[in-house]
Amino acid sequence: MNETEANTLGLRIQAGRKAAGLSQEALGEQLGVSRQAVSKWESDAAIPELENLIAMSRLFGVSVGVLLGVESASAEEPSDKELAAVEAIAEKYAEQAFPTKRLKRMGLTAAVIVLIIAVGIWVMQWKNNLRITDLNEQLVALQTQMNDIQNDVAGLTTQMRELLHEQDGLVSNAQWDIGRVNLEEDTVSVNFYLSPKLNTETTEAMLVATLPDGYSQSEMMQPGNTARGFFSVKNWELPMMQNIRISVIFTDNGVAQQEELRILDLRPENFTLSVDGFLACHYTEYSRTVQIKSFNLTIYSPDHHVYPLSGELCLFRNGETEPEVSIPFTTLLRESHDSLKPKYDVQLEDMTGYETSFELSDGDTVAAAIRVTDNYGSSHYAGVKIFALDSSGKIFVDQPTDWQPGTT
């Protein structure tokens, strides 16, 4: 399948960006938007503004119609110069085939008439294509306006709901935070704290989590100081899912009242770092010695709940799960504040104090990798290069995109 003929707008934007050799961050910089905005476009979670669609069509070298999937990538719109050139060619052909004096004597011949009609039909077809492209662009603009209106309405609805809760709700204050994250079991432990507007010594509170499939799980809250009137629950384990509705049920003297507190988005990607790195290595084909000259690293975090705790430059020999060499660079991790979400950068051009080299023997494989461990204990690998010797003793390198220790 041609890259410009992908099934959705997001896939076509992703294909065009990759064909142009741009990262999400680089494309965002050229368009004046964030990397997260580009990511939402490519996942079809949002639609770009009209001016961004036009700008991307120019960057990718395709028409807006091709980008929107309403026009074949093989079709190209003729410019005014191209249309003028076609007309000039037709006139020149007519003058050469039928001189003026002869035309005066014979009038227009059938061949000239056919040529003129053909050119006219061709020009009309292109004008129709241009009209269709204009209509499609207008449709995209209308869709964008509709999305903006829907977002505004959703925002107003949320504000109204919050105001109503403040006036008529059962809870005066509610807070929550993340306790633990277990990516292996796809669970998140959360802590909740809330205060009811009316509270007595006999008031009981229970939290209820309703999952998208309709299944629900509950947890009794522990009462705090009655005078302060708050309840809490700690390390309540919930599955990693989107749209988990959290409600509280207050019971007092056999009378129960329920109120929805919030909707949680606990998908795994909300607790996973995105790590991108590169290792620059030096070696000669038959030296059997490899030296790491420099490396750079960029880490994106979905929010401040997850962050890099440590960083190491590791060497794994022959598929071992533990590194033969581990050189920490945790002190070099610095948070960048020029991004909408937490971002960390490391650029190490001078390897003084971080010198790394290794020898290769016959049958050996050595994987050089940047390892980042987050605050939840999950390890992420980037810039992986696997070195080995071929049958002639020459070094060859593989650069897998998805690698874990224990593999070669």
With residue 327 as reference, give the H or E element that holds it. strand 325-328
With residue 386 as reference, give the H or E element that holds it. strand 379-389
Residue 355: other Cβ atoms inside 10 A: 10
Tokens representing 383? 């810039």
Verdict on whether the full-model pTM lies above 0.75 = no
- Distance between CA atoms of 36 and 341, rounded to whole angstroms? 9
Q: Once rounded to an integer, what is the mean pLDDT over residues 367-377?
A: 93
Confidence category of residue 110, pLDDT binned at 50, 70, 90: very low
Confidence category of residue 400, pLDDT binned at 50, 70, 90: very high
Are 272 and 378 spatial neighbours (Cβ–Cβ below 8 Å)? yes
- Distance between CA atoms of 72 and 332, rounded to whole angstroms? 49
pLDDT tens string 262-271: 999 999 888 8
3-state helix, strand, coil in the chain (%, to 5): 35, 35, 35
pLDDT of residue 132: 77
Question: In this predicted structure, which of 50-54, 172-176, 223-227, 304-308 has the lowest mean pLDDT?
Answer: 223-227
Residue 82 has pLDDT above 60, yes or no: no
pLDDT tens string 24-57: 999 999 999 999 999 999 998 888 888 888 889 8
- Distance between CA atoms of 253 and 316, rounded to whole angstroms? 64
CA distances to 3, 38, 53, 198 from 23, in Å: 16, 10, 17, 54
Summary mean pLDDT of the chain: 82
Confidence category of residue 119, pLDDT binned at 50, 70, 90: low
CA distances to 199, 229, 230, 231, 306 from 225, in Å: 11, 6, 7, 9, 32
DSSP H stretches of helix in 258-305: none
- Distance between CA atoms of 162 and 55, rounded to whole angstroms? 39
Residue 169 has pLDDT above 70, yes or no: yes
pLDDT of residue 131: 72
- Three-state SS for 242? coil
Residue 354 has pLDDT above 80, yes or no: yes
| Backbone Cα Rg of the chain | 32
DSSP at 318: T
Beta-bridge partners for 388 = 365, 396
- Distance between CA atoms of 244 and 250, rounded to whole angstroms? 20
Residue 159 has pLDDT above 50, yes or no: yes
Residue 226 has pLDDT above 60, yes or no: no
Beta-bridge partners for 280 = 294
Q: Count CA atoms closer than 13 A to 324's CA, side-chain side.
A: 16
pLDDT of residue 3: 45
Q: Once rounded to an integer, what is the mean pLDDT over residues 315-323?
A: 94
Residue 122 has pLDDT above 70, yes or no: no
Q: Once rounded to an integer, what is the mean pLDDT over residues 214-218?
A: 93
Are 344 and 333 spatial neighbours (Cβ–Cβ below 8 Å)? yes
Task: Provide φ and ψ at 209, rounded to 5°.
Answer: -110, 115
- CA neighbor of 309 nearest in space, from 270, 339, 278, 344: 344
The sheet carrying 231-239 orders its strands as 171-182, 187-196, 231-239, 222-223
Residue 120 has pLDDT above 60, yes or no: no
Q: Which residues contact 284 (CB under 8 A, 6 or more apart)?
A: 395
Are 404 and 318 spatial neighbours (Cβ–Cβ below 8 Å)? no
- Distance between CA atoms of 244 and 248, rounded to whole angstroms? 13
CA distances to 105, 147, 155, 157, 159 from 152, in Å: 72, 9, 5, 9, 11
CA distances to 62, 144, 210, 232, 298 from 222, in Å: 61, 48, 20, 5, 42
- Three-state SS for 186? coil
Confidence category of residue 231, pLDDT binned at 50, 70, 90: very high
